[in-house]
Chains A and B, each alone.
Chain A
Amino acid sequence: MEQLSAWFTELLADNSIFTARTLGYYGEGLVTTVQLVFLSLVIGLVIAVPLSIARGSKRKWIKMPIFFYTYVFRGTPLLIQLYIIYYGVVFIEGIQDTWLWVILEEPFYPALIAFTLNTVAYTTEIFHGAIKATSKGEIEAARAYGMSKSLMMRRIILPSAFRRALPAYGNEVIFMLHASAIASVVTIMDLTGAARLVYARFYAPFDAFLFVAALYLCLTFAILYLFRYLERRMLAHLKPQS
């Protein structure tokens, strides 16, 4: 490690912008961005699955609140949601004295909450659409086997809906990666935050932002290929057999 950093320092010796120090900012930024996106997606997924099932319920009082929630969160900019959560929570009376404040004090967590709520709304709708598109034959077959409703959901509907939802969910993952760039607005030093710092310090927009754009491009491709791989594996049975 020592050697590696020494080699790096030497390489960058005659470069005034990309010093070991600024690259350190980008490195930390990369970690923060990945953490933020990964955590919000995982938590979001866990919440979105039951919500998407409930969204298809026949009972209005279950269905309507979820529809309202997804409509509002999909219909307004994430930036507004972030502002409301980041600046808004502060003005809830007495919140500074509760244990919650330990979490909300750091800018990371309000951002995580905003991102999670946002991705839950989109993911719920994606899964809801996929569940709705389950073919009638599959359901009839399950019923003929005498499966209970919950068993049918677990064994038949959800597995096939997840596969169908995979391409759309892949888009949502990329969308979240890109949307996470606004975290820098609430002082989080994510990738974009690092780039803005380097820009402000050196007045060098091309160096600062092109470099970070390349990093995002790499991340996007990594996600793209991951989902292509998953699709190939999980949708294999849908391919024409040769």
Chain B
Amino acid sequence: MKKLLTVTLLSATMLAGTAQARDYETVRFGVDVPYEPMEYRTPDGELTGFDIDLGNALCAEIGIECEWVVQGWDGIIPGLMARKYDAIMSSMTINEERREQVLFSDPYFTPPSAWFVPADSEIGKPNEEALKDRNIGVQRGTLQDNYATDMYGDVADINRYATADDMVLDMEAGRLDAVFLDFPVGKSTLLDSEDNDYKVIGNMITEPKEYFGDGFGIAFRKRDEDLAKKFNEALATLKENGTYDEIFNKYF
């Protein structure tokens, strides 16, 4: 029995890992891929994208190491709380619901959301009448999901996907009549795809704020105020010295 207890305790300590010091020499970023062009993988598994490049540049500016931890969107905030990583830089929109859980940096990018449909679609404008009984694709747990569910959930079929890639694939297969997602991502994966058979309908959507928030921010644990401050300063510097624009132009 004693032996058993020792083994159990030993494995428990192994699980617990080591106590982590609070002054960061490396910052681990949680990121959900693929979300082209914000963050995605090359076939050999290398991470790349706007968030990745900007994140690395920010770390270089602060003078710390950057590491990237891939995490599904479903569990990305719980993963931060669990200290699987120290920050989230994964096209996360700053909004009230999330602010209750995490501390956000200043917004580093403010993309609108947009409706994408096949080029020959009859849907003229995104409204209840046009979307009635249509299949709409969104990524599960995103603000687009919340918005589409609340606005059109009663009239249309909302199909929720784990990743943006799944959604694009089903759009190409003809299973979806419309998808609702961040404009740059839709542009990169649908409009700029080889056989561009898609178009945007309606306006770019940034309102109401309770859904669409204030743009993308880096999320930290609430107690890491110092770290957030360092990143805000670095972001301001990169915007001033042109590095930000350089990265921006590479992807958009």
Binding site for B on A (CB under 8 A): 87, 90, 96, 101, 105-107, 185, 187, 189, 193, 196-197, 199-201, 203, 205
Contact = CB atoms under 8 A, between A and B. Distances in A.
A182 B175 CA distance: 19
Contacts of A90: 169, 172-175
Contact of B159 (A101, A187, A199): A187
Contact-residue size bin, chain B (C-beta under 8 Å from the other chain): 10 to 19
Interface of B: 74, 77-78, 101, 137, 140-141, 145-146, 159-162, 169-170, 172-175
A187 B160 contact: yes
B249 to A, nearest CB: 34
Nearest to A105: B175
Contacts of A87: 169, 173
Contacts of A196: 74, 140, 160
Contact of A200 (B101, B137, B145, B173): B145
18 contacts: A87-B169, A90-B169, A90-B173, A90-B174, A96-B173, A105-B175, A106-B175, A107-B175, A189-B160, A196-B74, A196-B140, A200-B141, A200-B145, A200-B160, A201-B145, A201-B146, A203-B77, A203-B101
Contacts of A187: 137, 159-161, 170
Given A187-B160, A200-B145, 20 more contacts: A87-B169, A87-B173, A90-B169, A90-B173, A90-B175, A96-B173, A187-B137, A187-B159, A187-B161, A189-B160, A193-B160, A196-B74, A197-B140, A199-B74, A201-B141, A201-B145, A201-B146, A203-B77, A203-B78, A205-B78
B159 A107 contact: yes
Given A90-B173, A105-B174, A185 B74 contact: no
Contacts of B173: 87, 90, 96
A187 B74 CA distance: 14
Contacts of B169: 87, 90
A200 B162 contact: no
A201 B97 CA distance: 10
A187 to B, nearest CB: 4
Contacts of B78: 203, 205
Nearest 4 Cβ contacts at the A-B interface: A200-B141, A90-B173, A187-B159, A200-B140
Contacts of A101: 174
**Residue of A106, A196, A200, A201 ringed by the most chain B CB atoms within 10 A:** A200
Contacts of A200: 74, 140-141, 145, 160
Given A90-B173, A196-B74, A185 B141 contact: no
Contact of A96 (B145, B170, B174): B174
A114 to B, nearest CB: 16
Contact of A197 (B137, B160, B162, B175): B160
A108 to B, nearest CB: 11
Contacts of A193: 160
Contacts of A189: 160
B131 to A, nearest CB: 17
Nearest to B153: A21
Contacts of A106: 175
A185 B159 contact: no
Nearest to B77: A203
A101 B174 CA distance: 9
**Residue of B74, B101, B137 ringed by the most chain A CB atoms within 10 A:** B74
Contacts of B160: 187, 189, 193, 196-197, 200
A101 B173 CA distance: 10
Contacts of B174: 90, 96, 101, 105
Contacts of A201: 141, 145-146
A125 to B, nearest CB: 33
A103 B18 CA distance: 54
A200 B140 CA distance: 7
